[in-house]
C-alpha cells in the first residue's frame, strides 16, 4: 500500500513514514518532511532578532553570573569520555566498518560529535554516500543520524527516498546495539534497485555468450575473484537450488544454499555462478563452496573452496563424505558483523551445511540404520 505525503506530494511505501504519521494516513507526512520541519524549528532566530537580544552597552555593568556553561563541543567530548562502554562500542564498530567497506569508508572530522564518517554506496564516491553522525551516547543511548548525499546517481526525490530508507532501517535496529552496517546495507540495496539493475542489464544479457568473473565485495578478508567459463551461463546445465535458514551469532549471519541433480562440473559451475550472482551473496564476506557428484563415466568428483575462511571448504567437503551426499553442490555465505567468532564460525558453517543436506534427503548414515 502506498501513501501520499501531504507536504511534498511524494507517493511512498509505509516504511517512509513514522508510526505516528501512519495513524492518520490522510494527513501523513513522510520522515523527510518531518525531519525538515524539525530542523527549521531548531534553527537560530534571524539576524534582526539576534541584534535585539544583545546585552546592553559596556557602560552598564552586566549582571553577575556563575561560570558560563561549556560550549556544545566541549559538552559532547566530556560525555564521550564519561561513557567508556559507548566509546569502546563505537571504536569497535568503526574498525569493523573499515574492514568491511575498505576504501569506501572514510572517517570525517568529528565537529563536536563523538564520531563522524562517510560510506560510499556507489562506484563513484561523489555519486551516492551515507554521512553518519554518532552522538556521545551511541550505541548505549541514542542512535546515529544519517544523511544521504546523492549527486550524480539520482535526483532529489530519490535522495529523499533513500534518506527514508536509512531512517526506517535505523528505527528497526535493536536498542542499545550498533546499527550502521545494517543501515548502510539497506541503503545500498535501495541504490542498487534505483540504478544498478538497469545498468547491468546489457551485461546480464550478454553473459550466456561468454564467461563471467565474480568480483568479491570483501577482498580484504581473503576473498578472490571467481572466473566462470561460458558453459556456466548455459541454461542447459541448470539445476534446482534451495535456500537454507539463516543463522545469526554476534551480528554475523550464515546461510547455506544447496544445488541438487549435479552430475557434471558444468552443472556445479552453473549452480555456483547462479548463487554468487545474487545481490546478497555478492555482498557476503565469504562464500565457501564444495561439491560432490558421480559423473557419466562413474567417476567420483569432489572439490571445495574456502574463499578466505581458511579450512571451511575442507570441513564442508568432509560433511559431504560423511553424509555420502552425491550429486550436490553447497555454498555457505557469511556476512561478517564486526565481532570475531573464533572457532564458533566453523561450527556454524558445518551446522548450516548439515541442516540443508539433511533437509533434502542426505541424513547421516548412522540415522539411516
Average pLDDT for the chain? 77
Which grid cell sits at 326? 552425491
Residue 262: count of CB within 10 angstroms of its CB? 27
Give the sign of the dihedral formed by CA 121, CA 186, CA 249, CA 179.
positive
Q: Does 153 score more than 60 pLDDT?
A: no
Domains in the chain: ranges and CATH: 3-31 (no CATH), 84-195 (3.10.110.10), 212-359 (3.30.230.30)
Which residues make Cβ contacts (< 8 Å) with residue 37, sequence separation at least 6? 7, 29
Distances (CA, A) of 136 to 6, 80, 106, 152, 180: 35, 5, 19, 33, 15
From CA 196, how far away is CA 352, in angstroms rounded?
31
From CA 333, how far away is CA 352, in angstroms rounded?
10
Tens digit of each residue's pLDDT (9 = 90 or more) over 85-141: 888 888 888 888 877 777 788 888 876 677 888 888 765 545 678 888 888 888 888
Stretch 347-355: mean pLDDT: 93
Picking from 361, 366, 278, 347, the residue whose alpha carbon sits closest to that of residue 309 is 347
Tens digit of each residue's pLDDT (9 = 90 or more) over 260-317: 999 999 999 999 999 998 888 888 889 999 999 999 899 999 999 998 888 889 999 9
Which residues make Cβ contacts (< 8 Å) with residue 276, sequence separation at least 6? 214, 226, 282, 287, 331
Which grid cell sits at 287? 562464500
Structure confidence at residue 58 (pLDDT): 54
- pTM of this prediction exceeds 0.85: no
Strand partners, 290: 304, 330
Q: What percentage of the chain exceeds 70 in pLDDT?
A: 76
Picking from 257, 127, 252, 144, the residue whose alpha carbon sits closest to that of residue 192 is 127
Amino acid at each position: 500500500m502506498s501513501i501520499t505525503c501531504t507536504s511534498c506530494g511524494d507517493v511512498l511505501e509505509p516504511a517512509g513514514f513514522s508510526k505516528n504519521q501512519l495513524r492518520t494516513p490522510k494527513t501523513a507526512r513522510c520522515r523527510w518532511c518531518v525531519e525538515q520541519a524539525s530542523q527549521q524549528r531548531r534553527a537560530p532566530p534571524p539576524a534582526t532578532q539576534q541584534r535585539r537580544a544583545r546585552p546592553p552597552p559596556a557602560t552598564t555593568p552586566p549582571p553577575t553570573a556563575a561560570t558560563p556553561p561549556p560550549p556544545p563541543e566541549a559538552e559532547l567530548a566530556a560525555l564521550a569520555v564519561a561513557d567508556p562502554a559507548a566509546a569502546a562500542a563505537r571504536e569497535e564498530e568503526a574498525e569493523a566498518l573499515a574492514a568491511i567497506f575498505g576504501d569506501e569508508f572514510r572517517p570525517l572530522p568529528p565537529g563536536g560529535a563523538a564520531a563522524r564518517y562517510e560510506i560510499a554506496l556507489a562506484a563513484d564516491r561523489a555519486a551516492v554516500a551515507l554521512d553518519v553522525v554518532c552522538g556521545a551516547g551511541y550505541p548505549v543511548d541514542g542512535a546515529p543520524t544519517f544523511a544521504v548525499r546523492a549527486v550524480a546517481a539520482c535526483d532529489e526525490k530519490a535522495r529523499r527516498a533513500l534518506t527514508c530508507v536509512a531512517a526506517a532501517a535505523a528505527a528497526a535496529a535493536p536498542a542499545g546495539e550498533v546499527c550502521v552496517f545494517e543501515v548502510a546495507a539497506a541503503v545500498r540495496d535501495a541504490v542498487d534497485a534505483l540504478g544498478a539493475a538497469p545498468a547491468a542489464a546489457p551485461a546480464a544479457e550478454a553473459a550466456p555468450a561468454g564467461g563471467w568473473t565474480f568480483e568479491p565485495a570483501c577482498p580484504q578478508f581473503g576473498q578472490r575473484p571467481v572466473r566462470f567459463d561460458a558453459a556456466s551461463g548455459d541454461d542447459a546445465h541448470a539445476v534446482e537450488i534451495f535456500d537454507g535458514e539463516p543463522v545469526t551469532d554476534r551480528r554475523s549471519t550464515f546461510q547455506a544454499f544447496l544445488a541438487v541433480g549435479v552430475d557434471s562440473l558444468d552443472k556445479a559451475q552453473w549452480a555456483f555462478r547462479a548463487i554468487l550472482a545474487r545481490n546478497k551473496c555478492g555482498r557476503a564476506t565469504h562464500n565457501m563452496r564444495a561439491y560432490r557428484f558421480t559423473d557419466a563415466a562413474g567417476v567420483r568428483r569432489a572439490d571445495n573452496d574456502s574463499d578466505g575462511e581458511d579450512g571451511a571448504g575442507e570441513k564442508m567437503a568432509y560433511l559431504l563424505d560423511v553424509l555420502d551426499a552425491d550429486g550436490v553442490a553447497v555454498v555457505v555465505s557469511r556476512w561478517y558483523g564486526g565481532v570475531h567468532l573464533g572457532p564458533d564460525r566453523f561450527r556454524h558453517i558445518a551446522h548450516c551445511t548439515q541442516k540443508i543436506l539433511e533437509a533434502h534427503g542426505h541424513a547421516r548414515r548412522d540415522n539411516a540404520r
